[in-house]
Amino acid sequence: MFDPGMLALIGVGISVGLGAAGSALGSGAVAKVGASLLSKKPEEFSKILILSALPSSQALYGFLYGIIKPLQTGLLNGSLDAGVTEGIGFQFLVSALPVGIACLFSGMIQGQVAASAVKIINDKPENLNQGIVLAALIESFAIFGLIVSILISFVGISF
């Protein structure tokens, strides 16, 4: 009824697409606030760049998981491996949800926290490390989503 390869590819789209969206929204939030500060203090560019880069890792996690699916199904070789059933295709699709959703929201929130850290650069630049640590804490949720997706993918779920 459903093509298992197509289901796996939808899972790839979920993990890569939502991860990239979270990173784009998060990095964009920091860049928007950072650009305002740069108009007054252009010498702070390197610090703002570090904060802007923090949410970009979510796209990497989504992409990493998006590579696992085609490797497992043989789709990277151009054809679906024998034995990949509709149930396995659904498993691949469902397994992409934790990493995709976690990367979307953690990227967005990490960007908001990092954007708030731009105020530290303006007010007390010597405390920037505290802002970086606060933003980096949000990263763990994307990693948790990646781990859960990998566990579902390799251990499996029953339909």
| Cα distance between residue 37 and residue 117, in whole Å | 12
Spell out the domain ranges in the chain.
4-155
pLDDT of residue 157: 64
Tens-binned pLDDT, residue by residue, of the chain (159 aa): 888 888 988 999 999 999 999 999 999 999 999 999 999 999 999 999 999 999 999 999 999 999 988 887 888 777 777 778 888 888 889 999 999 999 999 999 999 999 999 999 999 999 999 999 999 999 999 999 999 999 998 887 655
| Cα distance between residue 128 and residue 39, in whole Å | 19
> Taking the model in full, what pTM does it have?
0.89
* Structural tokens at position 50: 């570090």
| CATH code reported for the domain at 4-155 | 1.20.120.610
In b/e form, how buried is each residue of 88-127, taking b as 16+ CB within 10 angstroms? bbbbbbbbbbbbbbbbbbbbbbbbbbbbbbbebbeeeeee
